[in-house]
Each structure stands twice: as C-alpha cells, then as structure tokens.
Structure 1
Amino acid sequence: MRLPPADRTTGPVTGYTRAHWEAAADALLAAVEPYATRDRALYHLPGDRSSWSGRLSDGLEGYARTLLLAAFRRDEKALERYADGLAAGVSGVWPRIEDRSQPLVEAASIALALRLTRELLWDRLDDGVRRRAAAWLGDALTAEPWPCNWELFPVTVGGFLAEVGHEPDASRAAVDRGLERIEQWYVGDGWYTDGDGRKFDYYNGWAMHLYPVLHAWLEGDEHLLDLYGGRLSRHLSDYARLFGGDGAPMHQGRSLTYRFATTAPLWLGALTGRTPLSPGETRRLASGALRYFLDRGAVDDRGLLSLGWHGPDESVLQGYSGPASPYWASKGFLGLLLPADHEVWTATEEPAPAERTDAVTPVGPPNWLLQSTRSDGVVRLHNHGSEDVRYDPYYTRLAYSTVTAPAPSHDNSVFVGDDPSRTGIEPLGTGEGWAASRHTAGGGARVTSVVLARGASEVRAHWVSGAEPGTPVRVTGWPAAEGVRAELLPAIGLDETLTGVTGENTTLFVALARLTAEENPVPLPDTVVVSGSGDGELTVRWDEGPEVRVRLDGSGVNVA
C-alpha cells in the first residue's frame, strides 16, 4: 500500500495525517474491485467460506462492508459502482433478510451507507430501484436478531427507512424496540454487555455505542444524543487506555480480525462532540492503530485485508468469519466524515495515555484493572469480570495485553488438578491498584483471585477451597512474545515449577509476575515483598510504595 511521506509536523508520533487515511481507504477500495461480480452486486473475495452462511451471503458481506468504506470516503466514482450493485442486488441477487441471518448484519451497513451519502447515491437512483431497495431492507424491520449487538441492526435500517418515508410507523417501531432492548445490557459508566451475561469487549465501541450515537446524530435528536453521547464520552475515558504505545489495541475478545475498527468510537466522539479526549490525542490513538496494522502485514500483496490479526491468523477467527469479514474494519474510517479543517485533522498529535505515565486504573463495570508503563508502552488488562465461554480463551484468561496473544497452553490461568477452566466468574471488586474475582475450576473447587499491580510488577494471589486435600494447583503467567520479557516467580505455597498442593482448608498460592519490554528491569523480587498468614491475610509491601493488606472473608476480599 502506497502512502504519502510521513508528516512529522502535526504527526510527530505516527507521521499520519488525513492524507494517509484517504490513501489507505482508496487503496483498500481499489484492491477489492477486481473481485466484484459483473453486475457489482457481490464481492467474492478469496478465502474460505464462513461456516455460518453460504457463498451468496459472503458475497453480500463483501459488497456491504466495502460500501461502508466508500460512504465514509464519500468517493462519488466508487459510489456509482456500488449504485449499480445495489440495483442488481435488490432485483433478485441478494439473499433475503431472515431471522438471525447474516444478511441482517449487512443490511445495517448498507442502510447506514445510504443514509450517510443520501444525496450522492440514494437520491440519484430511479424510483423503481429505490422501491425494491426499501422493500429488501424492510425485512430487517421484523427479522428477529440474535439477543446481542444484533438488536441494533434493525435500529440502523429503521432509521434510514423512516427518513426516506418507507413504512414510517414500522421503521420507527423497529428503532424504538432495538434501543429499548439494549437498555437491559447497559451496566453504567459507559459500558454495555454484549447480550446477557458478562461479555465485555470491543463490541462496546464498534456496535453498542456506534449505532445508537450515529442514529441520534443523524436524526438531529439532541435528547438522544445527550443520552447515548454521554455514555460514549464516559466510555472513552476507559477505552483510550486500551491502546499500547505502539498503537496496538488490546488483544482480548472476539472478532479481532476487524482490527482498526477499534478506532471507530474515537472518531465518533470527535464527530459528535461527545469525547473527553483532545483532538491531538484522538488522532494519535486512531492513527497509531491504523499504522500498527498496516506496518505489520494486515494487508497482503493483493492489497486485501486477510483473516487474522497482523497477517493471516486462524486463532482470532469465529465460525461466522468469512473472506470479507475483516472489512468491518471500514468502521475505522469514520473519521473521514470530519471535514479536512476539523481540529482533529489539524491539531498536533498528543501522547496517548500509555505514553504519558505509569498508571494502574480500575474499570468498574467489567471489573478490570488496566496496567500501563510509559517506559515500554505496554498495556496489560487484568480480567476479573468478563466471561464468554463460547469464545474462550479470549474472555476467560486472567490477563491480556497489547503485546501478547492467548496461548493454547493456557497462559494466565490456574490449574486445579489438571483442569485450567475458569467458569462462573464472580467479580469481587476493583480499586486503586487491585482487582478480585471468584470462579469455579477443577470439578467444583472455588478459586478466589486477587491481582495487585504497581509499575510493571504484579502480585497474583489465589485462595483455593473445596478441593480434595493434596490436589495439585499450578499457576501460569504471561505467554512468550517477541520483544518482551515474561516472568513468573513463586512466592507463597508454590515450588519452582509454580505448583503447590491444597491443604485441609482454604489454601493460599501467590506468585509474582511481570511483562515488560524494558531491556534491564530491576529484578522482580526487588520490587515487592509478600507475606501470608494462615488466617487468609496477605501483606504486600511495594518498594518505595504503600503496604497493602488483603484479607479473605466470607463475602469476598477486603483490600486496605
């Protein structure tokens, strides 16, 4: 991909400006064009078909997701091609939108693109095409979505159809129904779960916030925008901390092949004026993520986004991942809706949170602890509240980072017997420098876990109860990764193999951990000293820092 020369005047960190984003968008659009069918209704990108849908649906996905990119780019020549494809698609080529079907997802991208470019695309279609397109989209108003972020796809379609006068009552009803349904998943402080349970990940930004806020903005509804935009602004206070100093997003959750779609909520905050971030910080975070992936092979030698993370990588895929799935990354180009003279494009980049200072930040709703170090830009996420057993290991490990990926060997886990599972996660709180949770493992044993962090150092404590006396317990730490050093040292109840055994009562196991890119860090044992007692109390003494006492009690843990 050819990009303009780096601009170190307004982009001292990434070198990227609006011109780089425009060039990237143009290159991505040009690369997919050879894979369009002759009528341009389908884009059959190379790669394995998804297991959830057929070839037609995959081809529709290719059309819809790249149309979204063309809409953000507002490229009239490209939009003309997509107008031809729309006319053919709604004339019998595209599969119908049915309950819980992939075309429902793609209908939302098409409707959003049409709404954003109405004067450039929709208004130039002949009446017959518009009628057929509205009728095809109209099935989304009554199609049953999966009970998760899918509830917002009828909202997005309904908002567009109401605007163009197609079945306005049914369209508004679909909007109201979807927005009402996501309320049950809003848990406060800017965070949603992605459906029932405790599924916290990037869907917060690229779905749960994106669609309601864009709908309110396009409607010009200040009341709705205050509601959903206020939630977005609060979310961005936490979200900005999920990016490493090298631009990498946190490697946690599902659908990671969407890559720089992680930048969508950053741009959305700037677009709607609902953000706590400065213009320079917004662009630095967003451009950092785009450059992170482009520099590491996300685009192959054909100019296509591969199914993976850097390059092809099956470990980050789900059953619904098809050849065109990565093009939800198009959401990352939302910033191109901002005019060229907007302050986000003209301001000088400012350091990201991970570059400004060492920080250990509690995030209440998901019960996470975010730990970042300025010296190496590494961000670590200690997970004591997010769980989705369908997509393990990207939800159920004790920790994730911007420089490592979950390993098949069960990194960041507690083995009770030979069982590393972590189910029924119960958050027990998070506070200044700590987070705690309880889970089930080892055929019914209960593990109460606490992590305390300072700088790059961690103290990981696990109280195991309910297991047969003499049951082996083993803890694991960070996986190996290029350019970083992972350490895990026994402290209490563990031998040199990081293994111990349970006693007659609740047994405490403690290890010291560290993940760092520093070349010559202070020896880990010199950064913290721990001691424990038989009554369930743990004392942590940080070097040149506070003393912290952790006590296990009947309801959970007490940290002081």
Structure 2
Amino acid sequence: MNRPHPNSPVELPADDRSTSPVTGYTRAHWEAAADGLLKAAWQWATPNSALLDLPGRPSASGVRSDGLEGYARTFLAAAFRVAGAGGKDPHGWLDRYADGLTAGTRTPGRDDTESWPLIRDHSVFGQPMVESASVAIGLRLTRPWLWDRLDPAVQDRAVEWLRGALRHTPAPNNWYLFPYSVAGFLESVGRGDAETARTRERALDLLESWYRGQGWYADGDGRAFDHYNGWALHLYPVLDAHLSGDSELSAHYGARLREHLESLSLLFGGDGAPIHFGRSLSYRFAAGSAVGLGALTGHTPLAPGTSRRVISGALRYFLDRGATGTDGLLSLGWHGTHDATIQPYSGPASPYWASKAFVSLLAPADHPLWTATEEPAPSEGPDRVLALPAPGLLVQSTRADGIVRLHNHGSDHVRPHEGESAVQDDPLYSRQSYSTVTGPTARGNAADNHLAVVVDGARSGRRAIRPLGAGGGDGWGWAASWHRPVFAGGAPMVPGLRVESVTVVRGRYELRVHRVLGAPPGARVEQTGWATGPGSAVASALHGLHGWESQDEVRAPQGTAYTPWAVLPRLGTEAEGSVLLVALASLTAEPGAAVLDAVVSRVNADGDTVEVCWAEEAATTRIGFGPVEVTVEHG
C-alpha cells in the first residue's frame, strides 16, 4: 500500500532497501510518483480536459498558453507511464487526454474555455510550439491506446494543429527539435510528406553545427552549455531514433549520448542533487532524463545499478525537499518556490517538463535498470576531476562530502546577435563556479564566485566567456578563459580592460588565478567565494595568496535557492594597469577540514607566471599566461 511522502502529498510505496540500498526507490516508486503528480495537476483541468490551468502567476505567453502547457507536459508523464506498462492505464489517464485533444483542436485560436492557442513564430507568443512536441511524443508513445482509437475527424484536426509547428519559425536553439519531434510523429502515423522531411533535415543539420565534442552541444549558435544538453539536445533525437527503429541515427546520436553521460553522470551530488547551473532549473529531476534514456537504449557507459542510483537519487532529492507543495503541484523553484530561479517564460505548469525523467519507465519491469542492485553514483567514488575543453567546463567532486562543483570557463548564454552588451549578467551562467549544494545569489545582491573590476563605483559583470583551454592530470585539473568586463551603470566598458582567469583544482581546493590587464587609475578588484547560509552544513572559505590587500564578508539578503539569506567571503585590492591575483577557495561539508592558510606553503609571482607550492605534498603548480599553460610537478 502506498503512503503519503512526509514532505509531499505524493503517495509512494515503502522504501525497498534490498535492490535499492541507497535511495530505496524502485520502478513502483517511479510509477507512483508519476501518478501522484498527474493526480494533483488534473484537479485544475477545464471541463472538457483541454487545458490544465494550474494556479500561479502567468507566464509571458499568457494564461491560455499556460493551460496548454499544463496539458502537454503532464501528457508526457502519462504517456511514459502507460506506454512503459504496455498500455495498462489503471487511472484512466489516456481517456482524459483523448477528451482534451478532441476539445482543444475543435476551434484552435478561439477565445473560449477549451480551444488551444495556434502555433505561431517564437517571437509571437511562441510557447505552443514547445508544447506541440510533448503532445506529439505523447501521441506517438500511446498510439495503440489513444491515437488509433480517435475519430478520423479528430485526427485530422490534431494533425492540422500540429503542422503549425512545421510552418512557423522556432527560437534559434533547441526549439528546432520541437517541430522535428512533431514531424517524427506525423511520419509514424502515415502523415509524412515533403514538409515533414524538410523539417527534420533542417533540425538535424543545425544539431550537427551545434555539436562541440565530448558529448556536448551548444544550445544554438552561441556558447550555452547547460542541462538542455540532456533534456533536449540528446533526448529528442535519441528517443526519436529509438521509437522509429532507425539504427543509423541511433548509432550516431547514441554514441554522443554515451560520451555525454561520461561527464553528465558526475554532475549529481552524493545527496542526489543535480548541479545548480543554467536556466530552467525548475524542471528539477528532468536533469536525469538523459541517464534514464541511456539505460533504456543501451547508449550509456554506466552500469544499470548506477543509472538507477542517479535518476532515483534526483527524484528523491526533490520530493524529500518540498518540490511539491501541500497541493501536490510542482512549484516554480528548486526545493520549494524560489523567484530568482525562474525565467519570464516560465508559468505555473512549466515545472512539469520534469516529466521527461519518466522516460525511464519505458524500460519494462524486467529491464536491468530496475532489476540490478543500486551501485554508487560517480560522485560517491574516489575524488574526481574532469576537464572538458569542448564546453570549457571543469568538474570537481569530493567523496568525503559528496559535493560536486562546476567551474565555468566556457558557457555564457550570450547569443551571437547580442554581442557584448552591458545588460546585467545572468547569475545562472556568469559566475565562476556552481555546485550541487549552493546556488548563485540573485541579481541586485553581491555576486558569489565573481571577479569584479570596480570603476567609479560600478562593478563589472561577466558576459561573453572566451575559453582558453582546459586539461589536467592525475587528481588535478584546470580550465581557463578571458572576458571583457562590462558595466550596467556608467560607461559600458573601459578600453583595453581585460580579465584572464585560470581555475586549478585538486581535492576540495580551488586555486583561482586572475590577470587583470588595463585597469584604469582608481580601479578596484574584488573576488568573492561561495554563498552559504547561517547554520549551513557546508563551509565556504576564501584565502588571498598574492596581490590581495583586504578580506571581509558581504551579505546577500535575497539568499539563494538553498538558503533565505546568505553570506559570502570577499577579497579586495586597488589596481591600476596590469595586476596578477591569486586566491585559494574551498566549499566543503567535511568535518575538521583544514583551514586554507595552511594548505599552500609558498607562492611566487613573476611577470606572467605564478608558482604555487602545496604544503600537503611535494608538488608545485605553475600557471603561465600568454598563452595559458598549467603544469604540476611532483618531488
């Protein structure tokens, strides 16, 4: 018998610690979680089931689009749930979605209680194009039990509505995979033609141009690398190839998924949390969808028990921390509601893209994903450092506390046509480092993990991030980048001002080295560390090693997704011309961790070169600029 979760109305079976010794979750828990989320959402359906008008502030696209979003995103969860059970539908979910499809497509675009909005260009309230993909995939997954039983007239209306996605312009990023998925469904039910073929070819051509290597895609023509890799750029083509049985496409995109999972699987902490980085974080456990898809299709480097540990850990992490309110609905936020985490395009039903995680239910009950005994997640193994030159990221995990840290030297979410504007930097991309136990501070608060140049009282932001390389060796790694400081107040930039940054990690330590070039007279430079809350189980430390003159703490009254208010350590110094700055940072939950002033025995800075001698072992790290080179010598 299922019972209510202590922090959520979702009813789950008792923990099963025999095959799932870490999370206690089995396939039955996943089915129950899907049912619980659907049950809560369906309380807000319109009379004929076409829209799910969940409560909350509307998105920028308006309430009708939000209602379609509620229908489409929950349909995805129901489709994975029913298709994975071979059509068994004990709660009658598909009857409701069939009724909604019938009502929603009767008079699209009409301003009434049930009609769906038309699909238009992304620049004209284009959110329905996003939702068309979930509708199409849901119909494709449940074809024998829903689509094939519809009246032919309803099928024709649905096809005409869906074709709007093929005839309008997507946003210049992963959105091209939405009409791609619609076209895949249309072809699967005998409605393919030159229009569907052209749509699919265009999407795959763009996907090739966005591939950067090491299993990572840019989300568009810029340098945005984030969770959209897993829950969109890999999910749609690999799932499409799996459903169509196209072995050639499956091999091509599956190989990239396998390589992506080498790094993505490390971005989940020992507590199950995904890395808190990038936009749309309210999709929460969707971060594990690529892991489940890899296990389903066989395109994964992970053992089945490891895959289940990762996906179940993420699901449990959020259910245990109040991701659903007392009404059972997923909230806009991280643990609970958190305004600074959300984007203007997010509405009350947006968090239900978390439904993508239930792709794992397509693996039947006797699949190794569900029958194998859970094995430790990659972050629960030995300390790991993974350098990713393609996206310009550096991953650092420590076994003692299960924390994973991501040092960002390549992902900026600046679209090519935007150039380097002085728009406020985006906390979800612009910070130097992110983790599984801390979040960035909100706009308007002191920025965590940030190197700012202060000119005439204005602090600089970090917009376009230009990678300078990444690499490493046994137990250590580095990544480097440069950026042009820009200012939201006063002059937008200072001619010749440039910051080159290198992060070197080993164990729990982060060596942060910056070369500031062209600082004007009267300028000041500040470096902040990790933001943590009072009484936090994690400790943030920042220690100046060279070039820094002062040290203090600064408050962030709006806190982070993890704490209602936060403090962060800060270093400062006056600067003019060229300066070389070296600091040591740490984020740890390890009891009795050594203080940072005892970690480094000596620092030599000479021109463009820094040498750091570590006290704990006979090792010297050398960082050279122009070009950037990082080496470690032992003995």
Query: If the TM-score is normalised by the length of the shorter chain, which range does it land in?
Result: over 0.9
SS at match of 1:109: helix
Deviation at 1:538, TM superposition (A): 0.7
Q: Select the residue among 202, 225, 249 that pairs with 2:250.
A: 225
- Contact 2:545/2:582 (CA < 8 Å) preserved in 1? yes
Q: Which runs of 5+ in 2 are unaligned?
A: 1-9, 83-87, 108-114, 415-422, 487-492, 552-570
SS at match of 1:66: helix
1:404 aligned partner, one-letter code: T
SS at match of 2:103: helix
Deviation at 1:529, TM superposition (A): 3.4
CA distance in 2, matches of 1:491, 1:194: 37
Are residue 208 (structure 1) and residue 237 (structure 2) matched? no
1:392 aligned partner, one-letter code: D
Equivalent residue pairs, number: 557
- Contact 2:550/2:573 (CA < 8 Å) preserved in 1? no
Are residue 430 (structure 1) and residue 478 (structure 2) matched? no
Q: Select the residue among 480, 484, 501 that pairs with 1:449.
A: 501
Deviation at 1:424, TM superposition (A): 2.8
SS at match of 1:502: strand
In structure 1, the partner of 2:269 is 244
Are residue 293 (structure 1) and residue 318 (structure 2) matched? yes
CA distance in 2, matches of 1:23, 1:366: 37
Q: How does 1:78-117 map to 2 (within 5 A)?
A: 78-92=93-107, 93-100=115-122, 101-117=126-142
Q: Select the residue among 31, 37, 48 that pairs with 1:22.
A: 31
C-alpha offsets along residues 371-428 of structure 1, whole Å, 9 cap, x if unaligned?
1100000001111111025870101100000000101310111121142311331101
SS at match of 1:467: strand
- Contact 1:489/1:496 (CA < 8 Å) preserved in 2? no
Are residue 144 (structure 1) and residue 166 (structure 2) matched? no
Return closer, same or farther for 1:149/1:530 CA change in 2, 3 Å cut-off.
farther
CA distance in 2, matches of 1:537, 1:292: 43
Q: Is 179-188 or 280-289 further displaced after alignment?
A: 179-188
- Contact 1:500/1:509 (CA < 8 Å) preserved in 2? no
In structure 2, the partner of 1:401 is 435
Deviation at 1:533, TM superposition (A): 2.5
Q: Select the residue among 77, 80, 90 that pairs with 1:69.
A: 77
SS at match of 2:603: strand
SS at match of 2:613: strand
Deviation at 1:361, TM superposition (A): 1.1
CA distance in 1, matches of 2:166, 2:523: 55
Are residue 547 (structure 1) and residue 620 (structure 2) matched? yes
SS at match of 2:64: helix
CA distance in 2, matches of 1:139, 1:162: 15
C-alpha offsets along residues 260-281 of structure 1, whole Å, 9 cap, x if unaligned?
1111100110111100010000
Q: How does 1:235-314 map to 2 (within 5 A)?
A: 235-314=260-339
1:424 aligned partner, one-letter code: A
C-alpha offsets along residues 130-162 of structure 1, whole Å, 9 cap, x if unaligned?
111111111111211011000100100000101
Are residue 41 (structure 1) and residue 50 (structure 2) matched? yes
CA distance in 1, matches of 2:175, 2:464: 25
CA distance in 2, matches of 1:416, 1:517: 31
- Contact 1:156/1:215 (CA < 8 Å) preserved in 2? yes
C-alpha offsets along residues 174-219 of structure 1, whole Å, 9 cap, x if unaligned?
1111111221111111110111211010000000000011111111
- Contact 1:18/1:340 (CA < 8 Å) preserved in 2? yes
Q: Select the residue among 166, 169, 179 that pairs with 2:194.
A: 169
SS at match of 1:94: coil
2:377 aligned partner, one-letter code: A
In structure 1, the partner of 2:426 is 392
Are residue 131 (structure 1) and residue 156 (structure 2) matched? yes
CA distance in 2, matches of 1:386, 1:419: 21
2:463 aligned partner, one-letter code: T
CA distance in 1, matches of 2:598, 2:181: 55
1:373 aligned partner, one-letter code: T
Deviation at 1:525, TM superposition (A): 2.4
Return closer, same or farther for 1:545/1:147 CA change in 2, 3 Å cut-off.
farther
Deviation at 1:84, TM superposition (A): 0.5
In structure 2, the partner of 1:464 is 516
Are residue 488 (structure 1) and residue 542 (structure 2) matched? yes
- Contact 1:45/1:323 (CA < 8 Å) preserved in 2? yes
- Contact 2:542/2:596 (CA < 8 Å) preserved in 1? no
Q: Select the residue among 502, 510, 521 that pairs with 2:575.
A: 502
In structure 2, the partner of 1:342 is 367
CA distance in 1, matches of 2:104, 2:163: 14
SS at match of 1:464: strand
CA distance in 2, matches of 1:467, 1:276: 47
In structure 1, the partner of 2:418 is none
- Contact 2:324/2:330 (CA < 8 Å) preserved in 1? yes
Q: Select the residue among 507, 528, 531 that pairs with 2:600.
A: 528
C-alpha offsets along residues 439-494 of structure 1, whole Å, 9 cap, x if unaligned?
11163321111111111111111111111245211111111142100000111011
Are residue 358 (structure 1) and residue 358 (structure 2) matched? no
SS at match of 2:590: coil
C-alpha offsets along residues 280-328 of structure 1, whole Å, 9 cap, x if unaligned?
0000000000000000000110110011110001111111000100000
In structure 2, the partner of 1:440 is 484
C-alpha offsets along residues 69-111 of structure 1, whole Å, 9 cap, x if unaligned?
1001106310111100000111011111111111111000000
- Contact 2:52/2:70 (CA < 8 Å) preserved in 1? yes
Q: Select the residue among 407, 415, 420 that pairs with 2:460.
A: 420
Deviation at 1:546, TM superposition (A): 2.8
2:544 aligned partner, one-letter code: P
Q: Select the residue among 503, 512, 526 that pairs with 1:474.
A: 526
- Contact 2:511/2:582 (CA < 8 Å) preserved in 1? yes
Deviation at 1:254, TM superposition (A): 0.1
In structure 1, the partner of 2:400 is 375
SS at match of 1:91: coil
- Contact 2:518/2:576 (CA < 8 Å) preserved in 1? no
In structure 2, the partner of 1:194 is 219
CA distance in 2, matches of 1:8, 1:19: 13
CA distance in 1, matches of 2:601, 2:273: 32
SS at match of 1:357: coil
CA distance in 2, matches of 1:410, 1:387: 16
CA distance in 2, matches of 1:281, 1:199: 28
Q: Is 531-540 or 476-485 further displaced after alignment?
A: 531-540
SS at match of 1:381: strand
- Contact 1:32/1:304 (CA < 8 Å) preserved in 2? yes
Return closer, same or farther for 1:545/1:383 CA change in 2, 3 Å cut-off.
farther
CA distance in 1, matches of 2:244, 2:66: 31
CA distance in 1, matches of 2:618, 2:276: 30
SS at match of 2:514: strand
- Contact 2:80/2:362 (CA < 8 Å) preserved in 1? yes
CA distance in 1, matches of 2:283, 2:618: 40
Q: Is 357-366 or 465-474 further displaced after alignment?
A: 465-474
- Contact 1:436/1:557 (CA < 8 Å) preserved in 2? no
Are residue 329 (structure 1) and residue 329 (structure 2) matched? no
CA distance in 1, matches of 2:355, 2:540: 34
Deviation at 1:527, TM superposition (A): 2.4
Deviation at 1:32, TM superposition (A): 1.1
TM-score, normalisation: structure 1: 0.97
